């Protein structure tokens, strides 16, 4: 059979990796896919650089629309990124009857519903394994491997840049800006690195996973998003003393009790002895709790040229195998058949159930602790542990660290307001969420 013909839109980090891996492993890939997979056309604004990567192996153009318009191209791979031009190009490729592969989580988390609906209408596939946790086959696992299960929650380290920053800061004592530059140099960071450090990229990925896990539409605008820029070294140190590590987690959790779904990204204390707490550097890991299988953990490289290319090419092979299948017999984009999707709401943060780590800078005098514990008790928040740093000779203030049991976030917000108003609380209280992940 003839090779399937692929057009790349954008040949930067991921596009370059895809070209190299496809060429290097072409015989094995042909053996698995049943026919060859060949990149025959590439569009990139930087034509010279694109040509230096692909040589004479394929046609290079600057206008992506020339690839979409080419009747010989079967699959369009969008590796440009962003919500803007990428959205138009993907929709145009679908309208032209092309299958699409994309690594663009931003695009799918925001415009996924529109894109998947257009693809269904046209009977084409939109594949996106590279969009979540890069090379880890988590989309495949959630959508196919775990298909028997009712998924209860997902908690993942799904941004390599921030995990790299947290690891290097904790392990080597390096400062934030230096480590971020290194992550950019290694090709982990997004074009706009604020997406990484402010938690937006992780929220894009958590949003996509929540849709697949729970059969709800992709709703990035309902996700709670917090990054690592406000995190202080003192809290990383105190967490460690208490047996915890701080990780930026993306969490999607089904809440049977209130009929909703938690969707949130924030720095989180997790017990240091959990496998996921020991995922370091740019590595990603996703922990999934499901009713039949129990807990499963997926670990690997979530960013970088070849790990991400691995996922892009897996999608190309899937499409190659299924291109001639009846569209109704393919795996649905979001795991559930469109008519089986539901509208379970994403909960506001004040209904989220979680434990807390609190750090209060307090006056070192009698009665302070009891006033604070009284406020927590009044809001029905129970305390798990207290750590009071010994104040040095002559010091008039000290740090008080409190770990709580699970509570409703709304209660904690109200308790924090009251504690902050105490005269003996001398600085803004640090409140971080804590998850046992068991």
Ligand X SMILES: N[C@@H](CCO)C(=O)O
Residues noted as catalytic: 205
For residues 271 and 437, is the Cβ–Cβ distance under 8 A?
yes
Segment contacting ligand NAD (CB under 6 A): 9-17, 247-255, 335-343, 398-406? 9-17
Segment contacting Na ion (CB under 5 A): 96-104, 131-139, 334-342, 393-401? 131-139
The residue behind tokens 């434990």 is 355
Task: Determine if residue 281 is labeled as part of a ligand binding site.
Answer: no
Judged by beta carbon, residue 15 or residue 137, the one nearer ligand NAD is 15
Q: How far is CA 316 from the centre of its chain?
A: 22
Segment contacting ligand NAD (CB under 6 A): 23-31, 184-192, 360-368, 430-438? 184-192
Q: How far apart are CB 14 and ligand X at their closest, in Å?
A: 9
The total number of residues written for the chain in this structure? 438
Segment contacting ligand NAD (CB under 6 A): 37-45, 273-281, 348-356, 420-428? 37-45
Q: How far apart are CB 237 and ligand NAD at their closest, in Å?
A: 30
Q: Does 129 bind Na ion (CB under 5 A)?
A: yes
Of all residues in the shown chain, the one whose CB is closest to ligand NAD is 12
Judged by beta carbon, residue 201 or residue 399, the one nearer Na ion is 201
Q: How far apart are CB 184 and ligand X at their closest, in Å?
A: 10
State the binding partner of 46 from ligand NAD, ligand X, Na ion, none, CB within 5 to 8 A by kind. Answer: ligand NAD
Judged by beta carbon, residue 89 or residue 155, the one nearer ligand NAD is 89
Task: Determine if residue 15 is labeled as part of a ligand binding site.
Answer: yes
Window 69 to 108, contacts with ligand NAD (CB under 6 A): 79-81, 85, 103-104
For residues 61 and 41, is the Cβ–Cβ distance under 8 A?
yes
Window 279 to 308, contacts with ligand NAD (CB under 6 A): 303-304, 308
Report, in angstroms and rounded to the nearest whole number, the Rg of the chain calculated over CA atoms: 24
For residues 159 and 239, is the Cβ–Cβ distance under 8 A?
no
Judged by beta carbon, residue 80 or residue 317, the one nearer ligand NAD is 80
Distances, alpha carbon 212 to alpha carbons 122, 337, 376, in Å: 21, 11, 37
Classify strands 260-271 and 430-434 as parallel, antiparallel or unpaired: parallel
Task: Determine if residue 156 is labeled as part of a ligand binding site.
Answer: no
Contact residues toward ligand X (CB under 6 A) are 134, 159-161, 188-190, 196, 201, 302-303
Task: Determine if residue 73 is labeled as part of a ligand binding site.
Answer: no
State the binding partner of 159 from Na ion, ligand NAD, ligand X, none, CB within 5 to 8 A by kind. Answer: ligand X
For residues 247 and 373, is the Cβ–Cβ distance under 8 A?
no
Select from 344, 362, 349, 347 the least CA-distant residue to 410: 349
Task: Determine if residue 16 is labeled as part of a ligand binding site.
Answer: yes
Task: Determine if residue 372 is labeled as part of a ligand binding site.
Answer: no
Rounded CA separation 207/373 (Å): 36
For residues 212 and 335, is the Cβ–Cβ distance under 8 A?
yes
Judged by beta carbon, residue 95 or residue 191, the one nearer ligand NAD is 191
Q: Does 6 bind ligand NAD (CB under 6 A)?
A: no
Q: Binding Na ion by CB under 5 A: which of 133, 146, 209, 415? A: 133
Q: Does 182 bind ligand NAD (CB under 6 A)?
A: no
Judged by beta carbon, residue 120 or residue 140, the one nearer ligand X is 140
Judged by beta carbon, residue 133 or residue 288, the one nearer Na ion is 133
Tell me which residues touch ligand NAD (CB under 6 A): 9-15, 43-46, 64, 79-81, 85, 103-104, 130, 134, 187-188, 190-191, 303-304, 308
Tell me which residues touch Na ion (CB under 5 A): 129, 132-133, 136, 138, 311
């Amino acid at each position: 059979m003839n090779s399937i013909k692929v057009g790349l839109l954008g040949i930067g980090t991921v596009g370059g990796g895809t070209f190299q891996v496809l060429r290097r492993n072409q015989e094995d890939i042909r053996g698995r896919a049943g026919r060859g997979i060949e990149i025959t056309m590439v569009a990139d604004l930087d034509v010279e650089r694109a040509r230096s990567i692909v040589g004479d192996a394929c046609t290079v153009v600057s206008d992506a629309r020339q690839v979409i318009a080419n009747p010989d191209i079967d699959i369009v791979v969008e590796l440009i990124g962003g919500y803007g031009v990428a959205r138009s190009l993907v929709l145009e490729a679908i309208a032209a009857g092309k299958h699409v592969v994309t690594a663009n989580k931003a695009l799918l988390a925001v415009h996924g519903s529109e894109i998947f609906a257009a693809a269904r209408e046209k009977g084409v596939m939109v594949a996106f394994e590279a969009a979540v946790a890069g090379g880890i086959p988590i989309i495949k696992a959630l959508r196919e491997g775990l298909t028997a299960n009712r998924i209860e929650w997902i908690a993942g380290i799904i941004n390599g840049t921030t995990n790299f920053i947290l690891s290097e800061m904790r392990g080597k004592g390096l400062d934030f800006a230096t480590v971020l530059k290194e992550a950019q140099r290694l090709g982990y960071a997004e074009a706009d690195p604020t997406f990484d450090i402010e938690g937006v990229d992780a929220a894009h990925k958590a949003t996509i996973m929540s849709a697949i896990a729970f059969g709800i539409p992709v709703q990035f605008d309902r996700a709670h998003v917090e990054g690592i820029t406000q995190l202080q070294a003192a809290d990383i140190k105190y967490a460690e003393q208490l047996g915890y590590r701080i990780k930026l987690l993306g969490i999607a959790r089904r809440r049977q009790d209130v009929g909703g779904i938690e969707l949130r990204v924030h720095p989180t204390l997790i017990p240091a002895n959990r496998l996921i707490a020991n995922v370091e550097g740019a590595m990603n890991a996703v922990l999934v709790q499901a009713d039949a299988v129990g807990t499963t953990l997926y670990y690997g490289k979530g960013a970088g040229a070849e790990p991400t290319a691995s996922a892009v090419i897996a999608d190309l092979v899937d499409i190659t195998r299924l291109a001639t299948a009846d569209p109704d017999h393919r795996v649905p984009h979001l795991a559930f058949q469109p008519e089986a999707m539901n509208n379970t709401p994403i909960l506001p943060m004040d209904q989220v159930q979680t434990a807390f780590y609190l750090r209060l800078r307090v006056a070192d005098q009698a009665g302070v602790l009891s006033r604070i514990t009284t406020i927590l008790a009044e809001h029905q928040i129970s305390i798990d542990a207290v750590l009071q740093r010994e104040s040095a000779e002559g010091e008039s203030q000290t740090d008080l660290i409190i770990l709580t049991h699970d509570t409703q976030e709304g209660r904690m917000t109200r308790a924090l307001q009251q504690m902050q108003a105490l005269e003996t609380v001398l600085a803004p209280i640090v409140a971080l969420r804590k998850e046992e992940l068991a």
